[in-house]
Structure 1
């Protein structure tokens, strides 16, 4: 997460692109957010800090950003590792 920059947020529903939002951003998370019971709606954001840096509109760019939605399933975040270690949970990673 960083502050003050530009953001491109890409949303898919059932693995189909449904919206792309570009804006200036005070805060921007590089994590994807999944919402919607039974709809599998996922939003991933790409963040940058230079003028006009959120102007990429190719499908390959969108697909590359959306690949991050599966990252935490195979590689835990540091906070997940810390929590699991603190509570003596063991996972094969």
Structure 2
């Protein structure tokens, strides 16, 4: 039986639980520095970066998601600002 058919036959609630478990694994495997940036961008205390994903309720997750979306736009602009500049060694210019 094809995998897609097997997944289709699963109870949607089970699929949702599996998806949440995968999200929790990704959260826990992300570097602590990335998690700190995420929670601080949302205005939460830095200590929340050590919390499990399950400790964030839906509204907190929405706040972090929106803050990260805004931060991605800002970081892109900052990255563009870092292009160029004075370099004493021409070989050190990478952009």
TM interval, short-chain normalised: 0.3 to 0.5
TM-score (norm 2): 0.34
Higher relative contact order (CA 8 A, sep 6+): 1
More helix by share: 2
Structure with the higher strand share, 1 or 2: 1
TM-score computed with the length of structure 1 as normaliser: 0.35
